Amino acid sequence: MSGKTVRGAGLAVMMLVGLGGCASDAEFPPAQPGATAVRFKVTEPGGFPVDVYLSAWAQGYVIHAAGQAPLYLIPDKKGGYIIQRPGEGASFVAPRSDGSGWTIQSASGPATLLLKQEGGTWILQAPGALPTLIVPQ
pLDDT in tens, 28-79: 566 677 777 888 999 999 999 999 998 888 788 888 888 888 888 889 988 8
Please state, in angstroms and rounded to a whole number, the distance separating the CA atoms of residues 52 and 38.
Answer: 8
pLDDT tens for each residue of 1-37: 445 554 555 555 554 444 444 444 445 566 677 777 8
83 pLDDT higher than 70:
yes
Please state, in angstroms and rounded to a whole number, the distance separating the CA atoms of residues 60 and 34.
Answer: 15
Please state, in angstroms and rounded to a whole number, the distance separating the CA atoms of residues 40 and 124.
Answer: 14
81 pLDDT higher than 80:
yes
Q: Structural domain of residue 66, as residue ranges?
A: 3-136
Question: Taking Cα atoms as reference points, which of 110, 90, 112 lies closest to residue 102?
Answer: 112
Q: What is the pTM of this model?
A: 0.71
Letter string b/e over residues 100-116, b meaning 16 or more CB atoms within 10 A of that residue's CB: ebbbbebeebebbbbbb
Please state, in angstroms and rounded to a whole number, the distance separating the CA atoms of residues 90 and 115.
Answer: 21
Distances (CA, A) of 36 to 4, 33, 86, 110: 25, 8, 24, 34
Residue 9 has a pLDDT of 53
**Phi, psi dihedrals of residue 107, rounded to the nearest 5°:** -70, -20
Domain count within the chain: 1
pLDDT tens for each residue of 88-123: 888 998 999 999 999 999 888 888 999 999 888 899
